[in-house]
């Protein structure tokens, strides 16, 4: 039994005394203890060594007091397990030297990812043990369209024009790639839940680059397919960043427990779109964490009030950024804990 099960209660839409709070990318970047580890171990050593991943995952629980841990990993572990080379140099963003371009490239992708990813299941089991039932543990994966973006473009990009052109000019091949990623992701998320994750989140960081119709074609249907396959094993949070237009349709699916939103939509509007069908998560602009602490806390309370404190998970609207002072990150979490209706 978890000592703090606020997150799971909020996901089940059960009444809570206050909303649970965690922060996307809470493990890493802005934490001096993480930056110390980064000096000693390169990115994939940190991800692939269960003891290190566990240590990093626990840091924000211990230091900031969040209501959930999220396993330290990366969305690109799936393309990697499927056979692509992924390079992570500090401050450069991911690089995939060999991209997916042809039918042959898609054929070659490995679907038997579970064996490749033992390290992450070990990290989850170890973290689950070390957490000692303090808070729930979140597993995650990148959503198919977002992974396609990196696999086709080969690096991060403002508009992922090449990846989108791939979808629009070779839709059949794109769907074959998306289907393979979907299959691998379902395997991966189910195994994460089995290994110790209490809930999983799908990060669709780039689907907001698509129009509503193209989202339905190339992103939404795969999100739903994954949610439906995974939901019997544990709650699923979808985070289709920049897709306010998809809130109505995604929330209609009973396999979706929660939807994360960014700050590009008013909380009240998101509630109207979802009509109480799902829990909502978000949506504080991480750059606003830089503001003076009293103002920051005032704005967090305003946000909670706008969402309403039930069926709600307080979070940022995107990952925390480097350079946020630790006391400001903590003030965000404290503000949620101090909230009174």
Residues of this chain that bind a copy of itself (CB under 8 A): 156, 158-159, 161, 164-165, 168-169, 208, 210-212, 214, 242, 244-245, 263-266, 269, 283, 285, 287-288, 290-292, 317, 321
* Phi, psi angle pair for 169, to nearest 5°: -100, -25
| Burial of 11 per CB tally in 10 Å (0-12, 13-18, 19+) | buried
Q: Which is nearer to a copy of itself, 92 or 118 (CB)?
A: 92
Q: Which is nearer to a copy of itself, 51 or 168 (CB)?
A: 168
Is 46 one of the annotated active-site residues of the chain?
no
Question: CB neighbours (10 Å) of residue 232?
Answer: 9
* Nearest CA among 19, 14, 120, 15 for reference residue 68: 19
User: How far is it, in rounded angstroms, from Cα 229 to Cα 241?
Assistant: 22
* Nearest CA among 210, 87, 206 for reference residue 158: 206
* CB neighbour list of residue 51: distance below 8 Å, 6 or more residues apart: 126
Shortest Cβ distance from residue 287 to a copy of itself (Å)? 4
* Helix orientation angle between 50-63 and 32-40, rounded to the nearest 10 degrees: 160
Shortest Cβ distance from residue 211 to a copy of itself (Å)? 4
* Nearest CA among 221, 278, 289 for reference residue 255: 278
Q: Which is nearer to a copy of itself, 164 or 180 (CB)?
A: 164
Catalytic residue among 5, 18, 46, 74: 74
Shortest Cβ distance from residue 171 to a copy of itself (Å)? 9
- The H or E element containing residue 171 is helix 171-195
Q: Which is nearer to a copy of itself, 87 or 287 (CB)?
A: 287
Shortest Cβ distance from residue 61 to a copy of itself (Å)? 26
Q: Which is nearer to a copy of itself, 37 or 321 (CB)?
A: 321
Is 134 one of the annotated active-site residues of the chain?
no
Is 25 one of the annotated active-site residues of the chain?
yes
Q: Which is nearer to a copy of itself, 93 or 97 (CB)?
A: 93
E-assigned strand segments in 29-132? 69-70, 87-89, 93-95
Is 339 one of the annotated active-site residues of the chain?
no
* Helix orientation angle between 267-274 and 293-307, rounded to the nearest 10 degrees: 20
Catalytic residue among 30, 34, 150, 222: 150
Shortest Cβ distance from residue 130 to a copy of itself (Å)? 33
Shortest Cβ distance from residue 244 to a copy of itself (Å)? 7
Q: Which is nearer to a copy of itself, 276 or 292 (CB)?
A: 292
Give one DSSP letter per residue of 35-63, joined into a string: HHHHHHS-HHHHHH-HHHHHHHHHHHHHH
Is 105 one of the annotated active-site residues of the chain?
no
User: How far is it, in rounded angstroms, from Cα 273 to Cα 245?
Assistant: 9
E-assigned strand segments in the chain? 69-70, 87-89, 93-95, 137-142, 199-204, 236-240, 258-260, 279-284, 312-316
Shortest Cβ distance from residue 32 to a copy of itself (Å)? 20
Active site residues: 25, 29, 38, 74, 150
């Amino acid at each position: 039994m978890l000592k703090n099960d606020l997150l799971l209660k909020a996901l089940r839409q059960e009444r809570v005394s206050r909303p649970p709070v965690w922060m996307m990318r809470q493990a890493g970047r802005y934490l001096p203890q993480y930056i110390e580890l980064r000096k000693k171990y390169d990115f994939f050593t940190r991800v692939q060594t269960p003891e290190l991943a566990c240590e990093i995952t626990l840091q924000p629980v211990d230091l900031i007091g969040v209501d959930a841990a999220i396993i330290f990993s990366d969305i690109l572990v799936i393309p990697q397990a499927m056979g692509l080379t992924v390079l992570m140099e500090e401050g450069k963003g991911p690089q995939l030297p060999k991209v997916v371009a042809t039918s042959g490239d898609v054929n070659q992708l490995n679907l038997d990812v579970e064996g490749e990813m033992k390290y992450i299941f070990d990290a989850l089991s170890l973290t689950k043990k070390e957490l000692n039932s303090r808070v729930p543990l979140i597993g995650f994966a990148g959503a198919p369209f977002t992974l396609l973006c990196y696999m086709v473009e080969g690096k991060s990009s403002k508009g992922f024009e090449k990846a989108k052109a791939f979808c629009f000019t070779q839709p059949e091949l794109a769907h074959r790639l998306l289907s393979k990623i979907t299959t691998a992701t379902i395997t991966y998320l189910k195994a994460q839940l089995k290994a110790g994750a209490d809930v999983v989140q799908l990060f669709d960081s780039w689907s907001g680059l698509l129009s509503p119709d193209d989202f339905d074609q190339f992103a939404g249907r795969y999100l739903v397919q994954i949610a439906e396959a995974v939901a019997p094993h544990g709650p699923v949070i979808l985070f289709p960043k920049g897709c306010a237009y998809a809130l109505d349709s995604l929330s209609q699916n009973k396999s979706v427990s929660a939807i994360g939103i960014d700050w590009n939509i008013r909380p009240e509007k998101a509630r109207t779109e979802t009509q109480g069908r799902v829990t909502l998560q978000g949506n504080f602009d991480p750059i606003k964490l830089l503001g003076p602490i009293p103002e920051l806390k005032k704005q967090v309370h305003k946000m909670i009030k706008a969402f309403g404190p039930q069926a709600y998970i307080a979070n940022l609207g995107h990952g925390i950024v480097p350079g946020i002072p630790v006391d400001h990150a903590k003030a965000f979490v404290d503000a949620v804990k101090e909230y009174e209706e």
